[in-house]
Structures are given as C-alpha cells and as structure tokens.
Amino acid sequence: MKFRASTSAPARLQRASGVQPASVAVSRPLWLVGAELCVFTEIDLRAVPARHRGRAIADRARQLSPFGSPAWHAADAAGSVALWIWDAARVTAAIAAEDGPSRRWQILPEQLFLTPALDACLREIDSTQRLLERWRAGRLVFSCTLPDAQPEAALRLRSAGLAPDALPPAVRAALQPVRWDLPPFDWRVALRDPLVAAGLALACAVLWLVWSLGELAGERAANTRLDASVESRERELAPLLEERSEALALAARNQALAGLLSGRNALEAAAEFEHLVGARYQRLLQWEVNARSARAMVEDKAADNRAYVEALQQSPWFERVAVAPTLRPEQVSLEITLSANPKAAPLYLTAGRTP
C-alpha cells in the first residue's frame, strides 16, 4: 500500500493488520511499531551505572525476546527502564514494501505517543484487540494484550497487579503530538532539525569570533604592560634573586649532609623488619623506605594482619604500624612510621643479630 507524500515528514503506524498513516506531526520520517507487535517489560537497572546501562539493556532484550532478529527501544528514567522488543525482520519487510530502502525511518514503539492514563486502562487497538496497560506517574509500567477468554484474561489481570475480575476503564489509542518519555523541551530533539542546528551553529560561530577578537585585543594590551612591569621588577630584584639562589643551594647541601649523618638508614630498618616478621612470610614483594616512613608488602599464605602489627610495634624504632588494603588475600601491605628519636637500640641488636 502506497501513500501520497505530504508537506511534513511522513509518519506510519504498523499494525498486525497492515500499515496505515499515523496522525502525528514529525520533522523526520517516523515508523511506529504497534503495541500489539511489541513485547513490553519494565526492568530495574538502578544498580547499574548509567554508562553501562546500554549494554545491560541490550543483553536483557536479547534474553527476553521471542523473535529471531529482535530490535528494541528503551526509555530510561534514572534506572527504571521501560523496554519494548519487536521483530526487526517483520518491521524491515514492511518498510521495504512501503517505501523501499531510499528513506531512513526513525523506528519507535507506538506506546511512546499514547496519552498516559492515571493507572490501569484498556487501550482499544481495534474492534478485536484490547491492550491492558498500567501507568505510574505518567510512565508505562505494564502492557499486554487482553484476550476474551476468561481464565487467561484473569491471569493477565493478576500479572498487572489487579483483581482477576477487575474492569479497568477503556480508552482510545489516540496518538499525542509528543512522546511522554521526553521532557517538554529536549535540545537533542531540537538539534535534529537542520535549520535549527545550522542557526545555532552560526550564532555560536559569530559569538566566538566576537569574543576572540575582544580577548585578543585585551591580551595584547595586557602583555605590553606586563612586559614593561616585569623588566622593571627584574632590574630591582636581581641582587635579591642571586642571594636567594645561593641560600637555596646551601640549604640543599645541608639537607644532604644531614641525611648522610642520620643514625638510621634503609639497611637498619630492613634488618629490624626481617628480625621481627621475617619468619612469617614466604616472599617479600615490596620494600620502600625514606626518612620517616617505610612501606612493605609480603606474601603470606596464612596471613594474619594483627600478628604483623603486634610484632612490628614491639620495636622502639617503629612508632606506628598500619595495614593497607591489598588486591589478593595472601598479600599483606604494611605502612610503618619510623620513630624520630628512638630511645632504645633496635631489637635485632639486643637479640644478638647483626644486619
């Protein structure tokens, strides 16, 4: 079946009985998949980060799909996802018969354009089909066809959270001009209009050019003043800068000498560590030490963090010992604060051991 072209973009509604024009004004070709051709479900992905929800939705759609080649659309509201799944092959065949491969259609479920109900309702698709829907806060949360057979109808009413003999109000399947899953204005939708996108791009380009010219003129004037000020200050501060450089060099030499003359070094700290806990671990994976702290990571198949802490805190050279988290259970990561002025000799010396 062919339809004559209109001044606005075409919109088609695919029903089980065939394709018909859709009474909705759109700026790009729109193909609506009838509610009776979709499998609808609501899934909770609030525990899934937003950047991973697309993959989670695709996996769930493939799991739930009864079709060999499924396509789907998801309306995500902070992790509460309304999901429609339909037979992609059936829709593609209908589009090819209607318009051929030349036009690119936006394919969406019909129910995105239906007027939301307050709660449960029976949507009259045609004279022979009714759709049982439940809405909550303007969003669709349940949808399925409602057969005339009483046992199956009662079962589907229960699935919707209704009494088996409930009779929800009937409403017409009339399309509204905007989708209920989008805010009143969405710049992403507006930018799909070529004229709006071109006008916005031109306005941004003009504003950027004017701003750039103003910034360039101001920067040149400021740079000129700054260069003159810097030259004047450099002449005034040259003697002080020279004295400061000499003082910094002298301080660096003094600090290096103080480090060489320190009574405690990395070898002595390692000897104390090995004396206290060397028999506990199988392999030393990491050892770092500086003036006031040390970090060690060991491999211990029977790791006991408390035993390591108690053993190391016996040393007068280790002021504080803490356990840091590791990636593997057989690893123990220790952060040790070295005593600034230990009042006793290290234990490995008092026990008769040498480093």
Q: What percent of the chain has pLDDT over 70?
A: 89
Residue 28: CB atoms within 10 A of its CB come to 16
Residue 65: CB atoms within 10 A of its CB come to 17
- C-alpha–C-alpha distance, residues 226 and 214, integer Å: 18
Cite the beta strand spans of the chain per DSSP E.
11-15, 18-21, 30-33, 39-44, 70-77, 80-87, 106-109, 120-124, 130-136, 139-145, 170-172, 283-289, 293-299, 318-324, 331-338
Q: Does 101 score more than 50 pLDDT?
A: yes
Q: Which of 1-10, 102-111, 247-256 has the lowest average pLDDT?
A: 1-10
User: Which sign, positive or negative, has the C-alpha torsion 151, 153, 154, 155?
Assistant: positive
Q: Does 7 score more than 80 pLDDT?
A: no
Comparing C-alpha atoms, which of 113, 36, 47, 22 is closest to residue 75?
A: 113
- What is residue 354's predicted lDDT score, i.e. its pLDDT? 44
Question: Helix, strand, coil proportions of the chain in percent (round to 5)?
Answer: 40, 25, 35
Phi and psi (nearest 5°) for 76?
-95, 125
- What is residue 63's predicted lDDT score, i.e. its pLDDT? 93
Whole-angstrom Cα Rg for the chain? 37
pLDDT tier at 184, thresholds 50, 70, 90? low
Please compute the mean of the pLDDT values over residues 250-258 and round it to a whole number.
60
